[in-house]
Amino acid sequence: MPYFNYPVIFDVLVVGGGHAGCEAALAAAGLGMKTLLLTQDLDTIAQMSCNPSIGGVGKGQIVREIDALGGRMAAVADLSALSAHMLNTSRGAAVRSPRVQCDKRMYQSAMKHSLELAGNLALAQDEAAQIWTEGSALRGVITARNTRYRSKTVILTTGTFLKGVIHIGLSSFRGGRYNHPPSDGLSPSLEALGFKLGRLKTGTPMRLNGRSIDFSKCEEQKPDEPPPPLSHFTGRHGRKLLSCWITRTGERSAGIIRANLHRSPLYSGRIKAAGPRYCPSIEDKIVKFPHHPTHILFLEPEGFDTGEYYVNGLSTSLPEEVQLELLHSVNGLERAELIRAAYAIEYDYSLPVQLDYNLEAKLLPGLFMAGQINGTTGYEEAAAQGLMAGINASLKVRGGDPFILGRDEAYIGVMIDDLISKGVDEPYRIFTSRAEFRLLLRQDNADLRLMPHGFRLGLIPGKFKKNFERYQNAVERSGSRREPQKHGAEKRPQRADDDMAPWTRAGAEACGRITKEYGGYITRNLREAERMKHFEHVRIPEKLDLSAVKGLCLESRQQFLKIRPRTLAQAARIPGVTPADIQLLWVHVTRKLRPPQADGVSRRDEG
């Protein structure tokens, strides 16, 4: 079949309309790039494949960072919020995190509408089947319907769809998500270009009809009052929010799982790929924690206009009849109607060590990757990478320097550095423990840390600048004030003050108080971060022959050749690399970087 050559040359072409793709497309279009978002199905834009919630520990910090850089996720989550909580309020400031439960459909349509309204952005429904190259140069993509889209840069954000296979009990079938076709063409196309792919697994719990749940046997979890917004630009939530409910599995549930383990694709060996250890299926929890008599389950509404409930904590790939028996063994769920079965999915991902700090492929300049294709899991992780890839593809087109965030600046910086330096052996999600400077990277100061970048890049409207500066000053004043502030200021209704809106005085006081309370630790973190920066500045030239470094142990040599670190600091973070090998590499690099000496005669003269 002959090609149809689409009559526009794009600056940035984004493949996939999931959480990474939406942020990538909006960022590129916002930076003035002629952008195309190409996705398999426009009706599934920003679909939440699993739990319709945004934020959580570590993730809440990332969403506020996305927002501070001009991303859309936090505002859309607030707009569609049906329940909201600040987690860990009784613990240290570094781990306090906002989480919002969303109306799933409302989230999707609000994000789709943002895309439809964005200037410079075109949408198209088709499947990218091949990366289009000529010689060693990227040209764009070729779709399943044989359309050739030409673009200066391409961002792949294909999520769980590459060669996706779904498992329910011992039956398996192809799919990128339940009832959605997988994407089979891109994997061979990437492999033909020399990319190494791996396989990962994730899973989702069952959904119930709410009318069949006996809520009188469950514990109510009311939304926070006032609900904490995710976006710096959201005022008060206008709608009355809903409660979530708590129940638990018991001895009978454990017995049902043990009796049916041989029917689980996980335990029968049918699923081979690694899943997230920190988010285990219920069969994993029963097998690995036999001394726990119960496991907590959260029943979370999926929308205002639906009775569907998500059973958080009951992810499984056991056969459907076992799922039903298991549900009926739980307090309050004795008569529960199972309306969507839980399932597991295996899919291809591209080894993220093949990317540079700007998320561009080292093998094929102009090709960027973001989201689950890089081995991560989670909407927030995907959106953050999408935003960074969108910004960096645009900067590449403009001929500007890449936009890279440090590990001491943002969780986004921690995540990208982890991915490209260490790679993944299970789906990667962000935790506060992944950051060495987590007191610097709090949810309450994401705007102070990153909004100046948002203004500079042009992704945050300049009209907010004055009020932001007033807020910065108010935080500083409140952090240096002598008298202790009363705790719980952040729990007071946060009315925006006109000269500071959308920021509030209560918010400034809360942030200033934390800075003061943790002053000693924060100073220590800052000092350590400064020390690390020294190594960040020692760049390893791209063409340097790393096999020529003498005396390295075999593992370090192999890791250096595989990952090709860009800085000495990145080399030091690679797993298996010893401090002694870093010294050797340092000596080698500085020797190579030294300007050529004058000839032997002049050196003898100096002596």
Ligand X SMILES: Cc1cc2nc3c(=O)[nH]c(=O)nc-3n(C[C@H](O)[C@H](O)[C@H](O)COP(=O)(O)OP(=O)(O)OC[C@H]3O[C@@H](n4cnc5c(N)ncnc54)[C@H](O)[C@@H]3O)c2cc1C
Residue 87 host element (H or E): strand 81-87
Most distant CA pair in the chain, distance: 94
Residue closer to ligand X, measured from CB, 107 or 560: 107
Residue 519 host element (H or E): helix 519-536
Task: Tell me the window of 81-89, 154-162, 213-221, 586-594 that interacts with ligand X (CB under 6 A).
Answer: 154-162
- B/e letters for 1-36, b = 16+ CB within 10 Å, e = fewer, are eeeeebeeebbbbbbbbbbbbbbbbbbbbbbebbbb
- Which member of 53, 157, 234, 253 binds ligand X (CB under 6 A)? 157
Asked if 102 contacts 53 with a C-beta cutoff of 8 angstroms, the reply is: yes
Task: Tell me, by CB under 6 A, how many residues bind ligand X.
Answer: 36
Q: How far is the CB of 305 from ligand X (least distance, A)?
A: 22
Q: Is 207 helix (H, G, I), strand (E, B) or coil?
A: strand
382 binds ligand X (CB under 6 A): yes
234 binds ligand X (CB under 6 A): no
CA distance 369 to 385: 8
Residue closer to ligand X, measured from CB, 203 or 303: 203
Q: How far is the CB of 77 from ligand X (least distance, A)?
A: 14
Nearest to 68 by CA among 517, 445, 389: 445
Burial of 456: CB neighbours in 10 Å, binned 0-12, 13-18, 19+: exposed
55 binds ligand X (CB under 6 A): no
Task: Tell me the window of 107-115, 196-204, 497-505, 581-589 that interacts with ligand X (CB under 6 A).
Answer: 196-204
Cα-Cα-Cα-Cα dihedral of 399, 405, 411, 412, to 10°?
A: 10
- Per the listing, tokens 């991902």 go with 349
553 binds ligand X (CB under 6 A): no
Residue 461: other Cβ atoms inside 10 A: 11
424 binds ligand X (CB under 6 A): no
Task: Tell me the window of 39-47, 240-248, 251-259, 538-546 that interacts with ligand X (CB under 6 A).
Answer: 39-47
Task: Tell me the window of 264-272, 377-385, 412-420, 572-580 that interacts with ligand X (CB under 6 A).
Answer: 377-385
Residue closer to ligand X, measured from CB, 51 or 421: 51
- Which member of 52, 313, 378, 423 binds ligand X (CB under 6 A)? 378
371 binds ligand X (CB under 6 A): yes
140 binds ligand X (CB under 6 A): no
18 binds ligand X (CB under 6 A): yes
Task: Tell me the window of 26-34, 91-99, 373-381, 527-535 that interacts with ligand X (CB under 6 A).
Answer: 373-381
125 binds ligand X (CB under 6 A): no
Q: How far is the CB of 73 from ligand X (least distance, A)?
A: 11
Q: How far is the CB of 256 from ligand X (least distance, A)?
A: 22
Task: Tell me the window of 63-71, 241-249, 372-380, 562-570 that interacts with ligand X (CB under 6 A).
Answer: 372-380
Which DSSP letter does residue 362 get?
Answer: S
Task: Tell me the DSSP string of 278-319.
Answer: TS--HHHHHHH-TT-S--EEEEEE--SS--EEEEEEEE--S-
17 binds ligand X (CB under 6 A): yes
58 binds ligand X (CB under 6 A): no
66 binds ligand X (CB under 6 A): no
209 binds ligand X (CB under 6 A): no
CA distance 584 to 576: 15
- Which member of 11, 65, 103, 127 binds ligand X (CB under 6 A)? 127
- Which member of 114, 130, 372, 421 binds ligand X (CB under 6 A)? 372
CB-side neighbour CA atoms (13 Å) of 66: 35
Residue closer to ligand X, measured from CB, 57 or 500: 57
Q: Give me the sign of the Cα torsion angle 250, 315, 95, 239.
A: negative
- Which member of 26, 37, 50, 286 binds ligand X (CB under 6 A)? 50
CA 88 distance to own-chain centroid: 21
In the structure, how many helices (H) and strands (E) does the chain have?
18, 19
Burial of 328: CB neighbours in 10 Å, binned 0-12, 13-18, 19+: middle
Residue closer to ligand X, measured from CB, 61 or 377: 377
Q: Is 156 helix (H, G, I), strand (E, B) or coil?
A: strand
- Which member of 6, 14, 19, 169 binds ligand X (CB under 6 A)? 19
Nearest to 182 by CA among 154, 151, 160, 203: 160
Task: Tell me the window of 38-46, 85-93, 397-405, 470-478 that interacts with ligand X (CB under 6 A).
Answer: 38-46
317 binds ligand X (CB under 6 A): no
Nearest to 17 by CA among 122, 130, 151, 167: 122
- Per the listing, tokens 């340097």 go with 544
207 binds ligand X (CB under 6 A): no
CA distance 561 to 553: 13
CA angle 436/440/444 to nearest 5° reads 135
CA 577 distance to own-chain centroid: 26
- Which member of 26, 36, 39, 283 binds ligand X (CB under 6 A)? 39
Residue closer to ligand X, measured from CB, 23 or 408: 23
In 113-186, at which residue ranges do the beta strands (DSSP E only) sit? 121-125, 128-134, 137-143, 147-156, 165-168, 171-174
Q: How far is the CB of 161 from ligand X (least distance, A)?
A: 4
Residue closer to ligand X, measured from CB, 17 or 454: 17
Residue closer to ligand X, measured from CB, 45 or 510: 45
366 binds ligand X (CB under 6 A): no
16 binds ligand X (CB under 6 A): yes
Task: Tell me the window of 159-167, 295-303, 417-425, 455-463 that interacts with ligand X (CB under 6 A).
Answer: 159-167
Positions that interact with ligand X (CB under 6 A): 15-21, 38-41, 44, 49-50, 127-128, 157-161, 176-177, 183, 186, 202-204, 279, 345, 371-372, 377-379, 382
